[in-house]
Structure 1
Amino acid sequence: MSDERVVDPEGAYLWDGWGTCLSWWANTELGARDDLAAALFGLDAAGVKTSSRGIELPGLGLNIVRYNLGACTWTDGSAMVESPAIVRRKQIETYHDGEAWNWSADPNQRSMLARARDAGADTFEMFSVSPPWWMTVNRNPSGAERGEQDNLEFQYQDAFARYIAAVARRARDDWGIRFSSVEPFNEPSLTAWHARQNQEGCHFTIGAQEAVIEYLRRALDDHGLGDVLIAASDECRYADAVVTWQKFTEGAKRLIGRVNVHAYEPDERGRSRTELREAVGEEIPIWQSEYSEGEPDGLAMALSISRDIRYLRPTGWVCWQPVEALDWGLLDGEYDDRTPNPDGGAPGTLEGEVGGVNTKYHVLAHYTRHIRPGMRILRSGHTNTVAAHDPSARRLALVTVNDGRKRTVTYDLRPLTRDANAARVWVTDAIDAPGARRYARRPDADSRDGLLTVVHEANTVTTMEIDGI
């Protein structure tokens, strides 16, 4: 099979970068691992220690870090209620127990936050999954008794906003971390957040979201953080985000500096993504702020990235847990979620190891290493190809996923140049088989009269990088 794709600079937009959330994996002792910081946030080759051996990986160069502001405390006399289904690593420690501040809380996540910065990350966002337990209706940070009920006490809406602003100011002044944005909600429209589910969570009605957003803007300004934007609302699905945005008042919309949305809706034809972009408009940026699934080969992830960039046109793309069990992570996480926790009712400890690497780590490397912050995203002419241009380096990057059979693709670069250099090529086979290539350098591909023709084997992700454009 063969097809042609025209790479067109019309409508190009600026790329903020790629990122990951800290949360559960960095809440464990993995948050103190320099090798993981180097692999995830640096660009140099990094040696990573696994439970059985050492492996060398290409650095992903993730530059966006999302820090999870916690909701749990275990101080003397604490009346926090714990879900019977939650495990310790999914409980994030908060800095205030309702009576006093504890700025030594959450050491592992803060450790990785600093390590990420030192390894090269430069864009930081703080997000809340649940308000601190003592601000909730039932004292349970996993959610209300019924999932359709809001769990933030009405009387604490302002206090919740001021808590977020206080931590952001502390991070700037004492941690050396400047959060450029804060997100007070996480999938707020879902009815899955209830007192017996297995993580932290909180439902918010539209009215409650609007109130918190207004209080938060005021609190940030009062703390001297007028340059910190509010992102909202981190809905689970694109269609949910459309409904939420359309229901917001114009006043609430004016206080939102960026729309965040999660990618748990397949949306293969891009209809919901397109509707969200059209609803929000071109002036307000969008991040795809959380993506994950349990498929280790990376094809589903690559297809989701391609659809996001074609239809949603986000400026940033973020994965959820880079180190997680059951093939949900880029790296396989091994955690103790069964041993009783001595400091609370939830089972498990904060121990953790890396079991190995999934193919999708190498798949993501194609995008993160070659489509860098500050590049311009171009129209590629095809859903499965992402095109980006670096004006200062005069370099074009094309990343294509082929989830079908072998095909020959001709990339028409004539809207950009008719005299392109040869293309450097990297390939990952998204299969588990002897001899499968993992972000492997391949022979250069020649172009002629502005046309670049490349053969893509079945189930591959291929990067083509061309200088002089």
Structure 2
Amino acid sequence: MSDERVIDPEGAYIWDGWGTCLSWWANTELGARDDLAAALFGLETVRVESSGRAIELPGLGLNIVRYNLGACTWTDGSAMVESPAIVRRKQIETYHDGEEWNWRADANQRNMLVKARDAGADTFEMFAVSPPWWMTVNGNPSGAEQGEQDNLEFQYQDAFARFIATVAGRARDEWGIRFSSVEPFNEPSLDGWHARQNQEGCHFTLGAQEAVIACLRRALDEHGLDDVLIAASDECRYADAVDTWQKFTDGTRRLVGRVNVHAYEPDEKGGSRTRLREAVGEELPIWQSEYSEGQPDGMAMALSISRDIRYLQPTGWVCWQPVEALDWGLLDGEYDDRTPNPNGGAPGTLKGQVGGVNTKYHVLAQYTRHIRPGMRILRSGHANTVAAHDPSARRLALVTVNDGRKRTVNYDLRPLTRDRNAARMWVTDASDAPGARRYTRCADADSRDGLLTVVHEANTVTTIEVDGL
């Protein structure tokens, strides 16, 4: 079985990079781990401690870090209400309890934020999952009593915006972290954010979103953060993002510097992704700002990346939790979510360790180590191949996911070259069979007269680098 892919530079756009959110995993003691910072945000080979043994991993080189602005406090006399389903690691400590600022809060997540910067990350975004509990209608940062109800008190819309701007200013002035963007919402249109669910969350109607965005732009400008853009609205699904964007007034759209969207809609044929890109237009950037699922082999993730880049044309791609249990992470996270917390009502502690590595860690490495920030994303001619070009190095990177049987792919590079060029290759097998490859360097191939032929084994992700283009 064979097919052809024509690599076309027409319509190329600049890549911002790859990233991850901090939130729950970095809220635990894992936020103090140098080896995790090096593995996730650096490019060197790293030995990561895992359940008493070390695992050698290629650094992913993630350069985008999304920092979760928390909503919980446990000060004396606090009236915060805790969901009966939430565990401690999913409660992020906030900096203001309604009376006083506490800049020592959220130490673990802040620790990893700085470690990520020192390891090589260079693009930072702060996002709020819920306003601080004392700004909510019911004092519960997990949501309102009913999921379709807004949980930010109307009277606190401006205060919420000023709170975000104040923390962003503090990060710039005291932490050495410049947030290039802030996102005040997280899946705001969902009706699942209610007082009994298992994480922080907040529903926002369209009018509430528009009001907060306007307040936030004023607050950022007043704090001397006029260069910080507002991202919105981090909707759960591409179709939700289309609906929200189309209903925003022109005035609100002008205040949004980037559209963020999550990837929890399969959208296998790309229709919703295409509609979102068309609704937003070619000029405004989009990030796929949260992706996750519980499939450890990485094939679903690779297919989602390919569809995003072909149909949505995002400038950045972000995974949710890189260290998480039940195969949801790149690395397997082992957390104590049962022991009562002495400082609050939620069960669980902030203990955590790495239990192992999932194949999808190596699958993501196929993309992140070769498609680097500043490269140009090209048209590949196929939904399963991502193509990127580095003009300064004159290097082309091709990443192809083959989720079916063995096939031969002919890559037509003639729009870029007609010379003979060596092609380096790396492969990850989506299987646990003996000898399965994990980001393994393979034998080189040659392009001749601008044509490159590669045989892709079944259920593989292959990266190809060609120089001199």
- Aligned-residue Cα RMSD (Å) equals 0.4
Aligned to 1:145: 145
Tell me, what secondary structure is at the counterpart of 2:288? strand
Matched, 1:405 2:390: no
Tell me, what secondary structure is at the counterpart of 1:274? helix
Partners of 1:128 and 1:434 lie apart in 2 by 44
Tell me, what secondary structure is at the counterpart of 2:284? coil
1:55 is aligned with what amino acid? I
Aligned to 1:424: 424
**Is 1:290–1:318's contact at 8 Å kept on the other side of the alignment?**
yes
Aligned to 1:247: 247
Q: What are the residue-to-residue correspondences of 1:162-311 with 2, within 5 Å?
A: 162-311=162-311
Partners of 2:249 and 2:190 lie apart in 1 by 20
Partners of 1:206 and 1:24 lie apart in 2 by 28
1:258 is aligned with what amino acid? R
Aligned to 1:385: 385
Q: What are the residue-to-residue correspondences of 1:66-145 with 2, within 5 Å?
A: 66-145=66-145
Partners of 1:244 and 1:337 lie apart in 2 by 35
2:392 is aligned with what amino acid? S
Tell me, what secondary structure is at the counterpart of 1:9? strand
Deviations 1:137-175 (A, max 9, x none): 000000000000000000000000000000000000000
Matched, 1:395 2:395: yes
1:118 is aligned with what amino acid? D
5+ residue gaps, structure 2: none
Partners of 1:312 and 1:52 lie apart in 2 by 42
Partners of 2:419 and 2:163 lie apart in 1 by 57
Partners of 1:333 and 1:343 lie apart in 2 by 23
2:182 is aligned with what amino acid? V
Aligned to 1:446: 446
Q: Please report how far the alpha carbon of residue 52 of structure 1 lies from its aligned counterpart in structure 2 after TM superposition.
A: 3.1
Aligned to 1:367: 367
Tell me, what secondary structure is at the counterpart of 1:344? coil
2:278 is aligned with what amino acid? E
Partners of 1:311 and 1:81 lie apart in 2 by 42
Partners of 1:427 and 1:33 lie apart in 2 by 29
Tell me, what secondary structure is at the counterpart of 1:446? strand
2:75 is aligned with what amino acid? T
**Is 1:331–1:357's contact at 8 Å kept on the other side of the alignment?**
yes
Deviations 1:262-313 (A, max 9, x none): 0000000000000000000001000000000000000000000000000000
Partners of 2:248 and 2:433 lie apart in 1 by 50
**Is 1:428–1:437's contact at 8 Å kept on the other side of the alignment?**
yes
Matched, 1:325 2:325: yes
Partners of 1:456 and 1:61 lie apart in 2 by 25
Aligned to 2:63: 63
- 4+ runs of 1 displaced by more than 4 Å? none
**Is 1:420–1:467's contact at 8 Å kept on the other side of the alignment?**
no
2:363 is aligned with what amino acid? V
Aligned to 1:6: 6
**Is 1:35–1:49's contact at 8 Å kept on the other side of the alignment?**
yes
Provide closer, same or farther for how the CA distance between residues 420 and 147 of structure 1 changes in structure 2, counting only shifts above 3 A: farther
Partners of 1:46 and 1:244 lie apart in 2 by 42
Aligned to 1:34: 34
Q: Please report how far the alpha carbon of residue 433 of structure 1 lies from its aligned counterpart in structure 2 after TM superposition.
A: 1.4
Identity of aligned residues (%): 88
Partners of 2:333 and 2:172 lie apart in 1 by 31
Deviations 1:167-226 (A, max 9, x none): 000000000000000000000000000000000000000000000000000000000000
Tell me, what secondary structure is at the counterpart of 1:370? coil
Partners of 1:450 and 1:337 lie apart in 2 by 55
Partners of 1:66 and 1:224 lie apart in 2 by 21
Tell me, what secondary structure is at the counterpart of 2:454? strand
Partners of 1:192 and 1:455 lie apart in 2 by 45
**Is 1:420–1:468's contact at 8 Å kept on the other side of the alignment?**
no
1:66 is aligned with what amino acid? R
Q: Please report how far the alpha carbon of residue 92 of structure 1 lies from its aligned counterpart in structure 2 after TM superposition.
A: 0.1
Partners of 2:298 and 2:186 lie apart in 1 by 25
1:452 is aligned with what amino acid? L
Q: Please report how far the alpha carbon of residue 421 of structure 1 lies from its aligned counterpart in structure 2 after TM superposition.
A: 1.1
Partners of 2:273 and 2:78 lie apart in 1 by 43
Partners of 1:298 and 1:388 lie apart in 2 by 21
2:413 is aligned with what amino acid? L
Partners of 1:235 and 1:380 lie apart in 2 by 28
1:156 is aligned with what amino acid? Y
Provide closer, same or farther for how the CA distance between residues 66 and 88 of structure 1 changes in structure 2, counting only shifts above 3 A: same
Aligned to 2:51: 51
Tell me, what secondary structure is at the counterpart of 1:277? helix
Partners of 2:399 and 2:195 lie apart in 1 by 43
Q: Please report how far the alpha carbon of residue 49 of structure 1 lies from its aligned counterpart in structure 2 after TM superposition.
A: 0.1
**Is 1:402–1:458's contact at 8 Å kept on the other side of the alignment?**
yes
Q: Please report how far the alpha carbon of residue 420 of structure 1 lies from its aligned counterpart in structure 2 after TM superposition.
A: 4.0
**Is 1:420–1:466's contact at 8 Å kept on the other side of the alignment?**
no
Tell me, what secondary structure is at the counterpart of 2:111? helix
Output the TM-score relative to the length of structure 2: 1.00
**Is 1:142–1:198's contact at 8 Å kept on the other side of the alignment?**
yes
Matched, 1:348 2:348: yes
Q: Please report how far the alpha carbon of residue 401 of structure 1 lies from its aligned counterpart in structure 2 after TM superposition.
A: 0.1
Tell me, what secondary structure is at the counterpart of 1:374? coil
Aligned to 1:461: 461
**Is 1:28–1:351's contact at 8 Å kept on the other side of the alignment?**
yes
Aligned to 1:433: 433
Deviations 1:85-111 (A, max 9, x none): 000000000000000000000000000
Partners of 1:127 and 1:450 lie apart in 2 by 45
Aligned to 2:314: 314
Partners of 1:165 and 1:420 lie apart in 2 by 54
Partners of 1:343 and 1:434 lie apart in 2 by 47
